[in-house]
Structure 1
Amino acid sequence: MIAKESTNGKKPYTLQAEAQRIYETIVNDPRLNVPEEVKTLADRIRFVGEETQPFYPVPYKCAESQAGLLGHVGLLALAIAKDRYVIDQSCEIDVDHALLNGLGALFMRHEGEWLSGSPKMMSAVKRWDHGQTRELYRQLATNIYKSKDGRWYSLHGNMNPTPLLEMLGVPQHNDQNLSWPQILEMYMKVVGDIDSTTLDNWSNNVYRTPGTVCYEKEEFETSPHGKAIKDEPFYELLPQPYYTQPAVSWSSVPFDPSDRRPLSGIKVLDLARAIAAPTIGRVCAALGATVIRVSCSTNTELPITLMDGCLGKTSVDVNLKTFKGRKKLLELIQDADVFIDGYRPAVMEHLGFGRDAVLGLVANRDRGIVYIQENCYGWKGPWTTRPGWAQIADTVCGIGLAIGRFNGFDEAHIFPGPNADYLTGHAGAAAVLHALYLRSHVGGSYVAQCSLLVSNLQMQSYGTYTSAQQESIKARNKELVGHMRHYDEIVSHGRNRHVVRGFIADRGFEGAIKKQFFQTVGGGTWGLNDLEVVSLALKFKDSPDGEGGKEGMRTDWDVGPCPPGYHLPEWVRKENEAFVPITVGETTVQG
């Protein structure tokens, strides 16, 4: 879509034009050092869509940022496809669809209803909820509360809120049968009796549970950590000088001739949980890669994100705390092209499979490996090893306070939806494509790094909407803006459908939730019927200029989400006969 000139000579604002600007900013970012031969294809990316004006209830350009970054992913995919198959294609990205990609886990549908947080979903995934995060009482500790010194503090219970509840000195379960408002009141009182400095020290140094003061943007920027990461790009791509494997010809990567997707035949090991890092593998799977998600029956998974993280992947159960499990991972690494590390810094090192270990394990083979690391705070500065989630990344850099004020309150709010998670996942997917492109041209092994906080800083760098635009957004969300509060954490957003309602805005269900934005996959492995999942917003066209309407490379998933352990830990996908089938009950969710 091309914006028409206005009467004053300026082009009127459109989502598509701003997505294009952001896309060009990313592609030409000198810190990313995108090869010139890739940039020659930059005009093959086009941003389209019926909706042209901002509508999502935040002051930040989240739709345009997601679309622009996905454009960069599409560009790298086009470059690989041209190298590999000698085909010239183009790619369209609907900006609406791109925003759905940034909120995807909350938009899964089942039997015509929203699945996220429903009794059927919770019943299907409860086997892996060892931290009992489904209990409303335990979940509500993950929230933003005002501390004794008047600062807003963002708490997060991680996969298991037990340490957080111990830190706050409250019971582990709702022994007094408190109601939802009473639980919130209890936490407000407890946190209100502790100053923010004590909370910060306890969270990050003693109990090692994610937590941060909700800083102003300028306040964070002048902090030691803010200074350390202020110049970080969406992802850092680090060639490894001590590993000099030769260039990997694409002709040496076996693939099914009927499946000419950019990453067909590429093998990815996905060691990650909860949205950001799993999104890297999920995008790779949509682009043709074989992705093995390595989990374990003893691992705690976050129920609301588990199915989303398994989409398109071979899902295996490998316990890396056993010698047998480590031997199995060692075996899988020998054939892997990409290794995704989405755990806290140093976790994989303690298990024997950190980046230096994995790089060394493939040092003597004839092709290098891409080791990608994702974390919350970034890979430079004093807070690198702090634990964190998207809500922490939102509130540490000033986004939380800005969204609270957008809603009319002098308080911090989390971003309504996991935007930072998906933005980071898409940055990581771009890093994988970029590194594989370089591996095919110059060889070697690569480390790629991305983070939730840096992704947020990138989005902030694109600016906020004008006052007039923000007023228009509020008018399009009259029943939502001004009603969300600091205590509306992820469960509240889900139960009240804040994110869904914000995406629909004033457009009506049919006008916003379009069938072409979804893919139907099987849900039988979870004891469910078919699932509708948000498809990847990259739509390739079988011509350089996009004319003619013929579809190009596909971006659908070969397999729906499968539970951890459903497959055997092998590169050829096989079902695990020992997997215990899931039976979905109709029990209601507590709270």
Structure 2
Amino acid sequence: MAEHKTTEGVYGPGTYTDTEFIPIPQDSQRLLKHLAQITPGFTKDPKILEDVQFTGSDLPVLPVIHAMMAIVSKDILATKGVDTGKISIDTDHAGMYPAMCSLVAINGKTMVEMAKDGSLSKMGKNVEKGAMHANHMRTRSWAIYPTRDKNVWYQVIANLRPQIFFDAYGLDDNAPVKNVDEAYELIKSVISQYSARELEQKNMEHGLCGNTVFSPAGWRKTMMAKALDRHPVIDYEKIVGSADLPPVPFPIVPNDNRPLAGIKVVELARVIAGPVLCALLTSLGAEVVKVQSPNLADPNVLQLSLTPGKYTHPLDLTVEPDCQQLQKILEGADVIVQAFRLRSMKHKGFGLADMVEMARKRNKGLVYVDLNCYGQEGTYAERPGYQQSADAASGCSYIMGRAYGFEEGTGVLPSLPVADMMTGAVGALDVLLALRDRAQHGGSYHASTVLVASNTIQLTPEFGLYQRETVQKVQETFNFAKMTPDQHMEDLLIVVLDGWRSHSDLLQRKEFFAHFKESPFGRDHYILGPLIKFENESASPRWDRSPVPFCFHEKFSWSAV
């Protein structure tokens, strides 16, 4: 593969910028070849890569992981005697994928319109419990702040337990501020008294998330980055000692030619990355039960967009009967996706070793996915983290600050939850590869899917960043409003959606959306549809059932599916 030419330092230390503009369909094909070469277990046959056709405009984001998912799906379906034909991915459609969680319309109203008129909080069940939007202070407890250190900023995250954050910093959750700007200034007056290292220590002591805003070069110097670099981004392997478990052929399901039809998945996850992973699996035909704690908060809009095709079942794992019920559900699963802190499920009896032993007893291998922020080893491995943590750690927030012209060290969140969405796609690819290997060779498999790794691979020379001229062209095309360090992900999503709505036809292209005439939320429920299209339409990903509310299915068993 020809060397990709880049220039160092355009967006600060450790950044690599393309020396010339490459249209996205062409660049996608180039990066597909690159990722195929560096991914263990993926095809090395260049002819297979030619089955993928990228079409669309020049400027959206890259859909390469979805193309790899399509190639493995094609391989799986060949074992069932199904020929998918050619693969196509529209890069305009792919450009909208990072905004999937907010691309919702119900009863003729978009997510933005529902948020403005108050109807969003009344959709389904109010599961946010006021964690982020009960008042202005809580809204700005997720933001990037300057520290006492010169040119060093810090991503503050109150988690979904804001009172712990406010108590830790001696702040009044109900301070009489008039708007989010006043809330930001009040919180800044406290956070800026600390050095970045003091903030790191304080947050770890209180179990809070957060991260120093590193430059890409600064992150690569850390011990945590070096530990993460020892692993490939697409990271799965057969579990030692499971080789004697027999191969498990893919189920044949009448009238369903999708690759994962009949595969059973348990989702132990909330917020975005894990639920996206499992939403992609449902589009590929898998039956997914999303086990939800009735005690934990979650952003309201996600039940409208990230639960298509799923069963959402309430279980309280602090109660023994519910733990026993989860054990029964897990015994029937092919795939387990857990997206809480690394090894946190071990303390409840549902860790990797527990599930591997369960698979041995039933004589049928499984795939166990650990999805987290920082990886499976290193000093931060068991630390909690969100997409914002990964953006700050990896250098992505730093690069955004430089791209927008802020002073050195200032962080601004990427305008879409790219880390979450890419990690979800990487996790789905891990599952496809592991299930393929289980069908061919038997055994159980473990995958590690990491938010920071999904970010850092995009900052390598092989990928390259857009030139400043290209960034300006994107801005001129969509005329996005200003993006700043104080803004929360929801603020930034609204900025992007407003730009798309006002300066393009993207949101009117109904071929990009999945439509449900009726859902538990109302009529004409639209969400962003799957990216992958096969020439054989019967094998293409799709959702047969609409999204459903939080804890919607009070009873669940695999026999009833």
Asked if TM exceeds 0.5, the reply is yes
Tell me: CA distance 1:269–1:46, structure 2 relative to 1, closer, same or farther (3 Å).
Answer: same
Distance 1:22 1:283 in 2: 21
Which structure 2 residues correspond to residues 65-464 of structure 1 after superposition, within 5 A?
67-115=63-111, 118=115, 119-125=118-124, 127-130=126-129, 132-135=131-134, 136-150=136-150, 151-174=152-175, 176-204=176-204, 206-243=205-242, 244-250=244-250, 253-255=251-253, 257-410=254-407, 411-461=410-460, 462-464=463-465
Corresponding letter in the other structure for 2:29: Q
Deviations 1:542-585 (A, max 9, x none): 2xxxxxxxx341322121111232222212557xxxxxxxxxxx
Corresponding letter in the other structure for 1:332: I
Distance 1:511 1:248 in 2: 42
* 2:512 match: 517
Corresponding letter in the other structure for 2:534: F
Tell me: CA distance 1:429–1:402, structure 2 relative to 1, closer, same or farther (3 Å).
Answer: same
Corresponding letter in the other structure for 2:417: P
* 1:566 match: 552
Among 527, 532, 535, the residue aligned to 1:533 = 527
Tell me: CA distance 1:570–1:393, structure 2 relative to 1, closer, same or farther (3 Å).
Answer: same
- The answer as to whether partners of 1:159 and 1:302 remain within 8 angstroms in 2 is no
Deviations 1:148-179 (A, max 9, x none): 223211011222222111122111234x2532
Give the Å deviation of 1:270: 0.6
Deviations 1:190-211 (A, max 9, x none): 112222211111112x111111
Give the Å deviation of 1:114: 2.0
Deviations 1:215-244 (A, max 9, x none): 111111111112222243222112112112
- The answer as to whether partners of 2:84 and 2:539 remain within 8 angstroms in 1 is no
Deviations 1:28-63 (A, max 9, x none): 21x4232557x65322111111x12x26xxxxxxx1
Corresponding letter in the other structure for 1:561: P
Unaligned runs of 5+ in 2: 1-18
Give the Å deviation of 1:359: 1.0
Unaligned runs of 5+ in 1: 1-9, 56-62, 543-550, 575-591
Q: How many residue pairs are counted as aligned between the two chains?
A: 532
Please state whether the residue corresponding to 2:54 is helix, strand or coil: strand
- The answer as to whether partners of 2:480 and 2:498 remain within 8 angstroms in 1 is no
More off after superposition, 313-322 vs 294-303: 294-303
Distance 1:326 1:465 in 2: 49
Tell me: CA distance 1:352–1:450, structure 2 relative to 1, closer, same or farther (3 Å).
Answer: same
Corresponding letter in the other structure for 1:79: D
- The answer as to whether partners of 1:476 and 1:505 remain within 8 angstroms in 2 is no
Distance 1:463 1:23 in 2: 14
More off after superposition, 226-235 vs 208-217: 226-235
Distance 1:46 1:240 in 2: 35
- The answer as to whether partners of 1:292 and 1:313 remain within 8 angstroms in 2 is yes
Please state whether the residue corresponding to 1:530 is helix, strand or coil: strand
- The answer as to whether partners of 2:147 and 2:153 remain within 8 angstroms in 1 is yes
The percentage of counterpart residues that share the same residue type is 23
Tell me: CA distance 1:572–1:314, structure 2 relative to 1, closer, same or farther (3 Å).
Answer: farther
- The answer as to whether partners of 1:270 and 1:292 remain within 8 angstroms in 2 is yes
Please state whether the residue corresponding to 2:324 is helix, strand or coil: helix
Corresponding letter in the other structure for 2:474: I
Distance 1:554 1:76 in 2: 13
Distance 1:486 1:505 in 2: 24
Give TM-score, length-normalised by structure 2. 0.90
Distance 1:124 1:216 in 2: 40
Distance 2:396 2:297 in 1: 29
Please state whether the residue corresponding to 1:103 is helix, strand or coil: helix
Distance 1:36 1:403 in 2: 35
- The answer as to whether partners of 1:203 and 1:209 remain within 8 angstroms in 2 is yes
Corresponding letter in the other structure for 2:68: H
Among 13, 19, 23, the residue aligned to 2:22 = 13
Deviations 1:330-374 (A, max 9, x none): 111121100001111122111110111011112122321000110
Corresponding letter in the other structure for 2:533: K
Give the Å deviation of 1:311: 2.1
The list of structure 1 runs, each at least 4 consecutive aligned residues, that deviate by more than 3 angstroms after superposition, is: 501-506
Q: Does 1:44 align with 2:51?
A: yes
More off after superposition, 211-220 vs 165-174: 165-174
Among 18, 23, 42, the residue aligned to 1:34 = 42
* 1:555 match: 541
Distance 1:511 1:317 in 2: 36
Please state whether the residue corresponding to 1:155 is helix, strand or coil: strand
Corresponding letter in the other structure for 1:474: Q
More off after superposition, 257-266 vs 147-156: 147-156
Give TM-score, length-normalised by structure 1. 0.86
Please state whether the residue corresponding to 1:373 is helix, strand or coil: strand
